[in-house]
Structure formats: structure tokens, C-alpha cells
């Protein structure tokens, strides 16, 4: 099977399993796990932040980030396609008593011109704008990344109004590779940053919240309140560390294969694609003569798996388990089915 449903489907490699087995561990609730302690320091340093907190999932990391930046009754400006707004079970309202104010960006990218009209006046009856949430890269936007200039412009706007920025960096590793922006730059943009190890990097589980020491201390307590007091988590941290050291450099190949695949899709008369949004490892395209579910079924009959992303839209996501031979098979099949 060639599985392009997501970059979350990868399994630990034999070498990663050896790193997991060899990990030195301790009780993290007591602060005694040396492997996770080292990883938290390492990743925080990479992003130019003071501290980090390992968590089980990107949703938890995002929600911890919003929680430490807001008070009940606050509002978060976010793109209408943002993961936090669409895929986190309304947890911001439930956990932090805050609401999302979704606005329409381009490919999920927000600019000051889009954000400014959504900023609330400070009337007592209004929700209080407190945070701007950015997603980099954008999932429903098709893997598009922010440029350095765009990020600086949003940071400037936030500073003008005294707002915070939360950066949902589920695929920020991809953004860095594709844009050439060093990871340390993102620490100048986000007051809190969520980074994920289980997508393009290929670790089996885990994300991390990055911020200053005071906010991470607060997030640590809230993680415990949510049931996130973990014990010998060095075995998970070791997988994440292995992924950073050995898989980060492979992301450029995922991007190359995604671009190659997208070029084939563009040649198929029964498909439609916007090549401008193919910037990293995600490819969104539309089927023209049938619905997406029907097209997905045809691909599954050829043992190729993708996922529906709308009535006519399909998403293909490239990752470290997809090689050039797999790409050749997929491209050949796309021509046979959709030209």
C-alpha cells in the first residue's frame, strides 16, 4: 500500500526503536527524566525560546499555549481554516472560556490587512481581542508557509495593539526547510509556539510547547490538571530527538516529491490544481467529473490511499515512507485514471 493520507501514519524505524530502547529515563512528574529534560532544553534553544514542555499531542500544546496567553472572555483571531478552529473539538471554549474569531486569509495565511478589521474595540460588551493565532504551514491551506516579511508584519501589528501571537507549528519544520527561515527566527514571532514531532519528522507521538519560563511553568501545572502528568517519558522523547537528528534533513525530499506529483496532477484533464499553493509536502487538488469519495475509491483499488478534503477536493501528503519508486507508481496511476 502507498499511503498518502497523512504524514502522521509513519512508523518508527528500526534505528528509532533502538534509540527508544536505549533511552535513559526517570519520573518526569518529579523532573527526573534526563532524556525529556534534555529534549526540552534542546528544542527551546533551537527556536530561540527560554523553555519547552513535552506533551502528548499538538492539540494539547496549542490549548496550553492559548491558556497561558488569555483570560476567560478573551478572543483569538484565527484563519477560518485553522486547525485550532476546525479540528480541536472546541476545546478553547471548554478549557479556557475563550472564543475564536475566524477570518478569511489566503491559503490560510493572515496578513495585517486581514487581521485589522477583526480587532474588537475595547467596549465592555465586546469579547476582548487578546491573541492572533497563526498556523505554519497551513494544513487546509495546502501546506503553504509564511514568509519572513509576513511574520514580521503580523508581529508588528500585535505589538502595536498589545496582543500575543500563538504559532501553531505542527509542520513548522517543513516551513523552515521550504522557506529557508532558521528555526530561531520563529522565537521572535511567537509568544508561544507549538511544534510537533509526529508529522513530517516521523516520531510516533509527541509535541512541545515553547515559551518563556514563566508561561511554561504555568502550562506545566495546567498539563497536570488535564491528566498530562507523565512518568518515564524519555522513551518518547528519545524518539522525538532521533527524528530531529535523522529525519529533519529528509523533509526537502518530501517537498520535491510533492512538487513532482503536483505537476502530474496539473497535466490531468479530469483534475484541477493551484500550483502556487504547493510549497511543502501537502498537495490539494480537485476532481472535476466526479466527487472526491469516488475518486478516492478508484485510487484505493490500485492500493493508493489519499484522503478527502471537501466534496471535490483530495489531499495527498508526502512523508519519509514514500520513496521515488512509490512516486513513480502514483504518478503513473494518476495519468491512467484522470487524464
Q: What is the DSSP string of 299-337?
A: HHHTTEE-EE-SSSEEEEE--TT--HHHHHHHHHHHHHH
Q: What are phi and psi of 135, to 5 degrees?
A: -120, 125
The whole-number pLDDT of residue 122 equals: 83
Residue 36 contacts residue 203 (beta carbons within 8 Å)? no
Please list, in sequence order, all residues whose beta carbon lies within 8 angstroms of the beta carbon of residue 15, skipping any fewer than 6 positions away.
242, 246
- Location of C-alpha cell 497536570: 224
Terminal-residue alpha carbon distance, the chain: 22
- Other beta carbons within 10 Å of 29: 12
Residue 177: count of CB within 10 angstroms of its CB: 23
Cα 95 to chain center, whole Å?
21
Rounded to the nearest integer, the mean pLDDT of the chain is 97
Residues 211 and 235: their CA atoms lie apart, in Å, by 24
| pLDDT per residue as tens digits for the range 130-175 | 999 999 999 999 999 999 999 999 999 999 999 999 999 999 999 9
Question: What is the grid cell recorded at 17?
Answer: 526503536
> Which three cell numbers mark 185?
527566527
The SS3 of residue 197 is coil
Could you read off the pLDDT of 172-189 as tens digits, one per residue? 999 999 999 999 999 999
Q: What is the pLDDT of residue 301?
A: 97
Three cell numbers at 23? 533511552
- Percent of the chain predicted with pLDDT > 70: 100
Single out the residue of 336, 266, 304 nearest to residue 4, CA to CA. 304
Cite the beta strand spans of the chain per DSSP E.
Answer: 2-3, 51-55, 74-79, 99-103, 128-135, 164-169, 192-196, 207-211, 271-272, 282-287, 304-305, 307-308, 313-317
pLDDT at 4: 98
Give the whole-angstrom CA distance, residue 236 versus residue 242. Answer: 10
Is the distance from CB of 109 to CB of 146 less than 8 angstroms?
A: yes
User: What pLDDT, on the 0 to 100 scale, is given for residue 54?
Assistant: 98
Q: Which helix (DSSP H) or strand (DSSP E) does residue 183 occupy?
A: helix 183-186
Alpha helices in 190-250 (DSSP H): 213-225, 234-247
Whole-angstrom Cα distance, residue 6 to residue 202?
A: 11
More confident residue, 126 or 209: 209
What would the grid cell of residue 192 be? 508561544
pLDDT band, very low/low/confident/very high, at 124 (cuts 50, 70, 90):
confident
User: Model confidence over 134-143: pLDDT tens digits?
Assistant: 999 999 999 9
Domains of the chain (ranges plus CATH)? 14-248 (3.40.640.10), 250-338 (3.90.1150.10)
Nearest to 145 by CA among 185, 116, 118, 88: 185
Q: What is the pLDDT of residue 336?
A: 97
C-alpha cell at 275: 500550483
| CA–CA gap between residue 204 and residue 61 (Å, rounded) | 16
The whole-angstrom separation of Cα 7 and Cα 318 is 6
Amino acid at each position: 500500500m502507498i499511503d498518502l493520507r497523512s504524514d502522521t501514519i509513519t512508523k518508527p524505524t528500526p534505528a528509532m526503536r533502538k534509540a527508544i530502547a536505549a533511552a535513559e529515563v526517570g519520573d518526569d512528574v518529579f523532573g527526573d527524566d534526563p532524556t525529556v529534560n534534555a529534549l526540552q532544553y534542546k528544542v527551546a534553544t533551537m527556536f530561540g525560546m527560554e523553555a519547552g514542555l513535552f506533551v502528548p499531542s499538538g492539540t494539547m500544546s496549542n490549548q496550553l499555549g492559548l491558556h497561558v496567553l488569555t483570560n476567560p472572555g478573551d478572543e483569538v483571531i484565527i484563519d477560518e481554516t485553522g486547525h485550532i478552529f476546525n479540528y480541536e473539538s472546541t476545546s478553547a471554549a471548554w478549557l479556557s472560556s475563550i472564543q475564536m474569531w475566524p477570518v478569511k486569509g489566503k491559503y490560510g495565511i493572515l496578513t495585517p490587512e486581514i487581521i485589522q478589521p477583526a480587532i474588537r474595540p475595547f467596549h465592555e460588551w465586546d469579547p476582548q481581542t487578546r491573541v492572533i493565532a497563526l498556523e505554519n504551514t497551513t494544513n487546509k491551506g495546502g501546506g503553504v508557509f509564511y514568509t519572513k516579511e509576513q511574520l514580521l508584519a503580523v508581529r508588528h501589528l500585535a505589538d502595536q495593539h498589545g496582543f500575543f501571537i500563538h504559532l501553531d507549528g505542527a509542520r513548522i519544520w517543513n516551513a523552515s526547510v521550504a522557506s529557508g527561515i532558521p528555526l530561531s527566527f520563529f522565537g521572535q514571532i511567537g509568544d508561544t509556539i507549538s511544534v510537533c514531532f509526529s508529522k513530517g519528522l516521523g516520531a510516533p507521538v509527541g509535541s512541545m510547547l515553547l515559551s518563556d519560563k514563566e508561561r511554561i511553568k504555568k502550562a506545566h501545572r495546567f498539563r497536570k490538571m488535564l491528566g498530562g502528568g507523565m512518568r518515564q517519558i524519555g522513551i518518547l522523547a528519545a524518539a522525538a530527538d532521533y527524528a530531529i537528528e535523522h529525519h529533519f534533513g529528509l523533509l526537502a525530499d518530501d517537498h520535491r516529491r510533492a512538487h513532482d506529483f503536483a505537476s502530474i496532477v496539473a497535466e490531468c484533464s479530469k483534475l484541477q490544481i493551484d500550483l502556487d499553493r504547493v510549497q511543502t509536502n501537502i498537495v490539494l487538488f480537485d476532481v472535476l467529473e466526479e466527487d472526491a469519495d469516488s475518486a478516492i475509491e478508484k485510487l484505493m483499488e490500485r492500493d493508493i490511499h489519499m484522503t478527502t478534503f471537501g466534496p471535490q477536493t483530495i489531499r495527498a501528503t508526502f512523508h519519509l515512507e514514500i520513496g521515488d519508486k512509490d512516486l513513480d507508481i502514483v504518478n503513473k496511476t494518476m495519468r491512467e485514471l484522470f487524464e
